[in-house]
């Protein structure tokens, strides 16, 4: 795998990909390691160059959809890759079907909005938006293309109305993922005091949900105060 990663890096150094530097840094962060291992062993293997091109396209589409977050692209892409490993794997390892641009974009938008949808069970503000717009689904994979576009555009509006890249990170992070990471670390600790471990876990979970709700409240407050100006932001 080390040889494969180094090969990908060498390709990047000699490529004209717009986001070669960001991709290079993501490779160094190891968030793509498990996927890289599968490049040659996937049921329908893709070329190394195609893998990098698809990753570049994913980043380009993110920058196009959320232009005010360009300076945080690398950070947010790592969050998206870490928290959507299954969707990222399927997107990067499956061959692009040039004849079906809609399906291609659908795969990308599902990746962008999945965490927002997943967080809705903890964030009343998100669920309220879904209720008002009569949007009902179990997750991004259950959404029609029109629903995907609606949610994608809404998240883009939230980003525009909040002039803080740090706060906007919460729109792309995943509460369940963070809980799961903490739980796995917790289980690796001493089990002598199980009651204390359970208490610590519950405190972490509750604090995490409160923190996310605090940031989402700020995001929605900004949106409600500025939404009438959105048409000017988009000029």
Q: 190 pLDDT exceeds 60?
A: no
Q: pLDDT confidence of 174, banded at 50, 70, 90? A: very high
Q: What average pLDDT is seen over the chain?
A: 87
**Which residue blocks in the chain are alpha helix, DSSP H?**
2-13, 20-28, 33-36, 48-65, 73-83, 85-93, 101-119, 124-132, 145-161, 165-168, 175-187, 194-226, 230-233
Note the pLDDT tens digit of each residue in 4-28: 899 999 999 999 999 999 999 999 9
Tokens for 56, please give them.
Answer: 């570049």
- Specify the pLDDT at position 147: 84
Q: pLDDT confidence of 104, banded at 50, 70, 90? A: confident
Note the pLDDT tens digit of each residue in 213-227: 999 999 999 999 999
Q: Residue with structure tokens 């890249």?
A: 165
Of 123 and 163, more confident: 123
- Specify the pLDDT at position 43: 62
- Specify the pLDDT at position 74: 96
Q: Sketch the domain layout of the chain as residue ranges.
A: 1-96, 120-235
> Are 9 and 27 contacting, i.e. CB atoms less than 8 angstroms apart?
yes
Which of 172-190 are b and which e, b meaning 16 or more Cβ less than 10 Å from the residue's Cβ?
bbbbebbbeeeeeeeeeee
What separation, in Å, do the N-terminal and C-terminal C-alpha atoms of the chain show? Answer: 46
* CA 134 vs CA 61, 123, 128, 130, 154: distances in Å: 27, 17, 10, 6, 14
Q: What is the pTM of this model?
A: 0.89
Q: Residue with structure tokens 């893998």?
A: 51
């Amino acid at each position: 795998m080390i040889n494969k990663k180094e090969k990908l890096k060498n390709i990047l150094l000699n490529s004209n990909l717009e986001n070669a530097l960001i991709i290079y840094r993501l490779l160094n962060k190891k968030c793509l390691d498990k996927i890289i291992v599968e490049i040659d062993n996937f049921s329908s293997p893709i070329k190394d160059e195609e893998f990098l091109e698809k990753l570049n396209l994913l980043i380009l589409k993110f920058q196009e959809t959320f232009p005010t977050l360009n300076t945080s692209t690398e950070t947010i892409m790592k969050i998206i890759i870490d928290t959507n490993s299954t969707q990222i794997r399927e997107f990067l390892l499956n061959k692009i079907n040039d004849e079906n641009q809609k399906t291609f974009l659908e795969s990308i938008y599902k990746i962008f909005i999945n965490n927002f949808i997943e967080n809705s069970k903890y964030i009343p503000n998100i669920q309220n938006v879904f209720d008002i717009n009569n949007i009902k689904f179990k997750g991004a994979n259950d959404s029609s293309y029109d629903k995907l576009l609606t949610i994608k555009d809404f998240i883009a509006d939230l980003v525009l109305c909040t002039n803080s890249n740090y706060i906007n990170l919460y729109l792309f992070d995943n509460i369940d993922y963070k809980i799961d990471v903490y739980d796995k670390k917790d289980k690796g600790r001493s089990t002598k005091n199980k009651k204390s471990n359970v208490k610590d876990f519950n405190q972490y979970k509750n604090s995490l949900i409160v923190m996310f709700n605090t940031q989402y409240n700020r995001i929605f407050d900004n949106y409600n105060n500025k939404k009438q100006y959105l048409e000017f932001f988009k000029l």
